[in-house]
Structure 1
Amino acid sequence: MMQQNHTLALATNAIKPALMAGAMVTVAFCLPLLGANSAQSTLESLVSAGGIEGPAMYLVVATLLTAIGLPRQVPAFVAGYAFGAWSGVAIALLSQVVACGIDFTWARLVGRDYVKRRFGKHLRRVDAALATRPFMATLTLRLMPVGSNILLNLAAGLSSVRALPFLVASLIGFIPQTVVFSLIGCGSAPSHLHILVMGAVTFVVSASLGVLLFRKYRQEMV
C-alpha cells in the first residue's frame, strides 16, 4: 500500500513540470499570433542598446525570484525569449547557481531554525539522500522532473554536504531543463518552430534520464 501511495505521489508530482512545459509551449505558439514579434524585437533592441545593463538587470531579478522559490524554468523561458537560446541558457544558468548558493548559505549560516520549523518532515528525506553520496544524489534530484528546487537548496545547507560539490552537481543538473525552457522561449518566433520542437523533445529526454538515474540510485541504496 505504501509503495502504491509513493508511486501515485510521484506520478502526481510528475504532472506539474509536464503541465508547465505544456503551458510554456502553448505560450510560445501563441505569442506570434498575439503580435508579440514586434515586442520581442523591441526587447532585443533594448537589451542590445543597453549593453550590459539588460542582462545584469535580468540576472539580479531572476536570481532573487529563484532564491525565494520561483520555479527556475520560468526565468529560463524568459531568458531564451529575451536573449536568444544559448545566451539565454548561459545567463539563466548563472542566475540559478547564484540563487542556489544564496539559499544554501542562508540556511547554513542564518536560517537554520526557521527552515527546520517550516520544512521539517521534508528535510529528513532529502538529508537522508544527500548523506551517503551527496554529488550523485544532488545530480539525480536536479535531473528529476519533480521536486522542489528551494527545498533541496535549504536541505543541503542544513546538512554536512560541502558547498562546492553541491553547487557543481546542481549546475550540471540544471543544464537540461534550462536548455529546454530557453529553447522553448527562443522558439516563440514562427521561424524558430524547429527550436520549439527541439525544446519539447529535450524536455522528455531529460525527464526520462532523471527518472532512470533516480531508480538506479534507489536500487544502489537498498
Structure 2
Amino acid sequence: MKFLLVEDNMELAQAILSRLRLDGHVIDHAAKIQDAIAFSELGEYDLILLDIMLPDGDGRDFLQRHRQGRKDTPVIVLTARSQVSDRITLLDLGADDYVTKPFDHAELEARCRAVLRRRAGSARNVTQVGDVTFDPVAGVVQVAGTAIKLRNRELRLLELFMNAPGQIFSKQKLVDRLFSYDEDVSDNAIEVYVGRLRKHLETSSLRIRTSRGLGYSLEHD
C-alpha cells in the first residue's frame, strides 16, 4: 500500500515511517499542508495519515478540501484533541477514523488495517484471481493453496495487478505506486521486479503480459 503521512513533528513522523515501512508500505511524508496538497495532486494513495496542527494551517482545512475534490482516499486523523465534539467534527468533515495522541504504534497499524478492510468492503480483504489468493494485511500469497514467499515490493506489485486484472500499468504508473518521491529509481527497476514476480507465478494460472510501449497487465489462463 502507498500512504501519505502529514505530520510536522519529525520525531513522531520518523517513528511512524519506520514502523509502517517495516510492514512493506510505501510512504511519502509532508510536514506542511501545502506539501500535502502537492503530493495528493501528483500521486495516488491508499491511505492518508493527517495531523491537525500544522505550521502553515489546520489539517481540517486539508481534509475538507480533499473531500470537496471528491477524493475518496481514506483519512485517519492524528489528533491531540480528545473532546467528543472535536472527534465528531473530524468525522463529519470526512475522516474515516482518528487516533488520539499519544498513541501506541500497534494501535495505529491496527486502525490502518481496519480502514483499508472497510474500504475494500471486506472483513478480511483477501483477493483471488485464478488460482492465486493474496491477503495484503498478512502479506500471504498462495498458489493453488501453497504459500509462496515474496519480498515487500513484489507483494505490492502483485497487489496492484490483482486489484485490476487486465488493466495495463505503464512503467511510470508502477514507479509512482511502488516508490516514494524521495527514492532514486533506476530505469530498469520495474523490469527487475516484474521479472522476479513472473518467476514466482510460473506455476500459477496467472501471467504478466508485456504490451510493448504501453506497460504490463495481469492475465490468467
Question: What TM-score range do you get, normalising by the shorter chain?
Answer: under 0.3
With the length of structure 1 as denominator, give the TM-score of the two structures: 0.23
Q: Which has the higher contact order (CA 8 A, sep 6+)?
A: 1
| Bigger strand fraction | 2
With the length of structure 2 as denominator, give the TM-score of the two structures: 0.23
